[in-house]
Amino acid sequence: MAESRVLVLDADEERAQSLRSLLQFIDYAPVVQDRCGHLAASGAKPADWVAVIVGKVLDESALNGFVDWLKRDHLHPPLLVLSEQLGNAAARFDLHESACINLDFPLKYAQLNELLKRAGLTRMEREVLDTVASKGPTGNSSAVRRVRRMVEQVASFDTTVLITGESGTGKEVVARAIHAQSRRKDKPFVAVNCGAIPSELLESELFGHEKGAFTGAITARKGRFELADGGTLFLDEIGDMSLPMQVKILRALQERSFERVGGMKSQRCDVRVIAATHRNLEDAIVKGSFREDLYYRLNVFPIETPPMRERLEDLPLLIEDIIGQLERASRGSVRLSPETVNVLRAYHWPGNVRELSNLVERLAVLHPGATVRPQDLPSRYKPAGFEATEPLAETSIEQAFERSERPILSEMRVMDLLGQSKPDPVLPPAGVDLKDHIEHIEASLIKQALAQSGGVVAHAAKLLNTRRTTLVEKLRKYGLQREDAETSCANEA
């Protein structure tokens, strides 16, 4: 989840307003609160915010409880501490120093911008790790068994590996498996997608730069070669690399050394390089877009990842694996009926395993917890002439998403949709905190009403059969207030 909301806890009203303006200016959605005691019970989740900025605190014990609640989520946002009131906040809250950082005051735009950017990237990285298997490609087909055998053969040597195969066939999964089975497994695995980075940025990204090397290089920075020191560097989509960059990579591979951009000093690098591409590099050599010498330097041990259409017998295991990853990452769950799996076997899978993964994630969001039948699939996956019987009722995307995260509420809503009576809530054996529980339900319903009404408070109030002013108060209470909701409210008043 790439989140834009930043929680600001600051009882210093003037500073909180300045922070709100600054955060909006740098494209974040601030949620400003002067206290935090109620947040844990409001239906909020730690992952709702990309970072939490802590200023003046009125109730330190409530803050301690709030931080304890945050820490229960391993993806919790970092605390950016503005106030000296808390002393050494990292030690006080028993947080790693990367998860609790003191901000300079007066605020520095560059520092805040950089910390928020890092917070967002850290979350995206963790989500990737949650979903990429390091144990290697899934399946028992002969094509996959062959790939696994090759991984085992090459992993323990420092041989350069070139992985080829169509897009979406899992080249990074193979690269990670080689790393995980190598003697470098406890050192970094650093991936770089050469095709996604503009050529003018790629050199500094790979080799780093010295301070002042170019406009914007305000500090020295390590490149991916340095970050991967002792470990494995995965150069994905190397076939998209420009010819001048190919020369520089070739030199780094031959001499095992490089210079940072703007630097004079050569640095030794101890990295194992694994390269990958979906392009046919031999064709590219003929066309003059890929250097032959680099090709032979990389192609020491070639591995080709098979397309899905050549390993359709792996489909059930792959589906099971993808659902397991979604469940472990709390991104929903779904089941596919045997008939659905059979229908998918007849599809040609141009996007390979990535396409399958996207499809399963979509089904898990649209039909959370359900068993998907062939008629519930997007039409391109159904054979020609397939006549659908009644498809599964597809709840709205917001409802489906909410449902996957909050099963008790969602069941009530599904019953509502079907026009049936609401089931009686079940008291867990350990009991509940009634006030917290009711507040959780209230906040959740308000969120849904706001989503359904496009953030217009007056419309949301109608859906909840409550006065607009009452709803505005509740939005404040739960920290749900949004600028656009306020604007809509003002416009309609």
Judged by the rule CB under 8 A, the positions of this chain that interact with another protein are: 1-5, 24, 26-29, 48, 50, 117, 120-121, 124, 128, 191-193, 195-198, 201-202, 205, 331, 351, 354-355, 357-359, 361-362, 365, 378-380, 396-398, 401, 451, 454-455, 483-484, 487
Q: How far is CA 12 from CA 15, 35, 462, in A?
A: 6, 11, 34
**How are the residues of the chain apportioned to helix, strand and coil, as percentages rounded to the nearest 5?**
50, 10, 40
How many Å apart are CA 192 and CA 194, to the nearest integer?
6
State in angstroms the smallest separation of the CB of 61 from another protein. Answer: 29
Q: Which residue lies nearer to another protein by CB, 95 or 171?
A: 171
Q: Which residue lies nearer to another protein by CB, 141 or 325?
A: 325
Q: Which residue lies nearer to another protein by CB, 83 or 340?
A: 340
Q: Which residue lies nearer to another protein by CB, 340 or 357?
A: 357
State in angstroms the smallest separation of the CB of 98 from another protein. Answer: 16
Decide if 314 contacts 170 (C-beta within 8 A): no
What is the distance, to the nearest Å, from the Cα of residue 235 to the centroid of all Cα atoms in its chain? 21
State in angstroms the smallest separation of the CB of 117 from another protein. Answer: 5
How many Å apart are CA 316 and CA 322, to the nearest integer?
10
Which residues, listed in sequence order, are joined to residue 311 by a DSSP beta bridge?
A: none
State in angstroms the smallest separation of the CB of 56 from another protein. Answer: 26
State in angstroms the smallest separation of the CB of 388 from another protein. Answer: 13
State in angstroms the smallest separation of the CB of 398 from another protein. Answer: 5
- Tell me the two tokens of residue 433: 């905190």
Q: Which residue lies nearer to another protein by CB, 164 or 488?
A: 488
State in angstroms the smallest separation of the CB of 180 from another protein. Answer: 19
Question: Going edge to edge, which strands form the sheet with 301-304?
Answer: 189-193, 232-236, 272-277, 161-164, 301-304
Q: Which residue lies nearer to another protein by CB, 83 or 204?
A: 204
For 338-348, b/e burial (b = at least 16 CB within 10 A) is eebeebbeebe
Decide if 405 contacts 371 (C-beta within 8 A): no
Q: Which residue lies nearer to another protein by CB, 277 or 357?
A: 357
